[in-house]
Amino acid sequence: MGQIKVEKNVGGIQGLCVIEPTVHGDSRGYFMETYNENDMKEAGLDMVFVQDNQSCSTKGVLRGLHFQKSFPQGKLVRVIKGSVYDVAVDLRSNSETYGKYYGIELTEENKKQFYIPQGFAHGFLVLSDIAEFCYKCTDFYHPGDEGGMAWNDPEIGIQWPQVNGSYQGSASAEGYVMADGTALNLSDKDQKWLGIKDTFKF
């Protein structure tokens, strides 16, 4: 294999992959390939990406859990500054792991990438003061097609690191704080999503 190491079906969930690039470093700094189609194909990953996105968020921001219903996206995500806890929840109705999640810390230091195929809800929590997050998508963003589910649904039981608080029956961030006292910060929309029992299935 070329410049990447791929761990497939992480957490026992079919399709989820953790990808580690080869980093070439010396006294001047480092160089790495963040994406190489040939290496991906050699690893059995033949997805085609059509859109790249980048976001910047502050500590305590939680974005998710999101998906597109009619135009589902596969996503290859990584962090270029700071650190996040990144989560994928299996929403494939015919999957043996429906309703299961896998979470991984992505940081500028570990340079790991996380591939989430179609059929999953995705989100992340910012653990550092600032985080810059990049992701490649297999389909375009379609306004009006977005779906979501509650980030704190007890049916899923995601263990968000550094988060203190208790479920009060909704996705509201009220009462939740990070270990250092930083309030959890979600968009109004992300605080209105419902639990998996009332969520779209693929």
Active site residues: 66, 135
Burial class of 41 by CB neighbour count within 10 A (0 to 12, 13 to 18, 19+): exposed
* Residue showing tokens 């033949």: 46
Residues 6+ apart with CB under 8 A from 143: none
Q: Cα(135)–Cα(48) distance, rounded to whole angstroms?
A: 13
The region that residue 11 occupies, defined by phi over 0 for left and psi between -120 and 50 for alpha, beta otherwise, is left
Q: Which residues pair with 88 in a beta bridge?
A: 102, 122
Radius of gyration of the chain from its Cα atoms, rounded to whole angstroms: 17
Q: Cα(152)–Cα(159) distance, rounded to whole angstroms?
A: 9
List the alpha helices (DSSP H) in the chain. 37-42
